[in-house]
Amino acid sequence: MPEALTHALATPGLVWLICAIGVAGIVRGFSGFGTALIFVPVANIFLDPKTVVAIIALTGIACNAVVLPRAWQQGSRGEVGRLVVAALLTVPVGLWLLDVLDKTTVRWVVTLVAGGMLAALVAGWRFSGVVSKPMLFVIGAAAGLIGGMTGLTGPVVILFYLAGQAVAQSVRANTILFLAALDVVILVTLFVKGDVTLYIVLMAAILSLPYAATTMLGQSLFDPKHERLYRWAAYGVIALAVVSGLPVWNNGA
């Protein structure tokens, strides 16, 4: 354990990783989203993409434990079940792609997904149709594929499900439940493959501390009167993370 902890503390760019997850926590606290969109592009500069996927899933489970009880009460477990079943089929495919694609390609996929999500948010685009049962499977499958390959589990769900025409409270609860379940699916698959190491667990623990602290700070800073300002601040931080994570800066090194 001491050697593994020393290894984790000696991780190149650890200070930047702590800063990234800390800023992500503040943004998550006052906006309700943005953790993976901020952390994953930066983390991919310093860590192997598979390590990033495992770490973001582990930190997500720690954070979601706080909000799951209320979501369990308010959510529709039948709808969540359909999303999860679809994701179960595609998470292994996403993780397989993570194995066969080189790091630079994965980083470009992260850039495109995160950048596309940011562009949609800035433009105010949301899916305005009705999410049918077949579409639930499509959303779950897409989220599983992208989440397994990049760690970005939220974009598809946020754009096509959370922004649908169903009752907002129920859909938000369903989204929390699904993303928590998706983190578990990804982690279980990685555990089965033997890809979750003590190093990854320790890194997740190290990063969870500033993440939890800054998430609470972000919540305390939130003032509904300045919601628009917070939203655009979040967009700016996400844009900075996406640009800083571009593979062109170091040619995928």
CB atoms closer than 10 angstroms to residue 76: 15
User: What pLDDT, in 10s, does the model give residues 123-176?
Assistant: 888 777 777 888 889 999 999 999 999 999 888 888 877 666 555 667 777 877
Element (H, E) at 77: helix 77-100
The residue ranges of every structural domain in the chain are 2-247
Q: Which three-class secondary structure state does DSSP give residue 124?
A: coil
**Mean pLDDT along residues 171-189:** 85
Region of poorest pLDDT, from 137-146, 195-204, 220-229, 244-253: 244-253
**Mean pLDDT along residues 54-69:** 80
Query: Quick one: which of 238, 242, 229 has its CA closest to 30?
Result: 229
Do the Cβ atoms of 54 and 183 come closer than 8 Å?
A: no
pLDDT band at 250 (very low <50, low <70, confident <90, very high): low
Q: How many angstroms separate the CA atoms of 121 and 205, rounded?
A: 31
Q: Which residue has the tokens 């969540």?
A: 80
From first CA to last CA, the distance across the chain in angstroms is 29
Query: Quick one: which of 131, 138, 124, 120 has its CA closest to 37?
Result: 120
CB atoms closer than 10 angstroms to residue 231: 17
Do the Cβ atoms of 214 and 23 come closer than 8 Å?
A: yes
**Mean pLDDT along residues 101-112:** 93
Q: How many angstroms separate the CA atoms of 216 and 205, rounded?
A: 17
pLDDT at 253: 42
Reported as half-sphere exposure (CB side, CA atoms, 13 A), residue 61 has a value of 16
pLDDT at 102: 92
User: Rounded to the nearest 5 degrees, what angle is found at the Cα of 177, between the Cα atoms of 175 and 180?
Assistant: 105
Q: How many angstroms separate the CA atoms of 184 and 84, rounded?
A: 10
CB atoms closer than 10 angstroms to residue 6: 10
CB atoms closer than 10 angstroms to residue 113: 23
Residue 52 has what DSSP assignment?
H
**Mean pLDDT along residues 16-33:** 85
Q: Which three-class secondary structure state does DSSP give residue 130?
A: coil
CB atoms closer than 10 angstroms to residue 48: 15
pLDDT band at 67 (very low <50, low <70, confident <90, very high): low
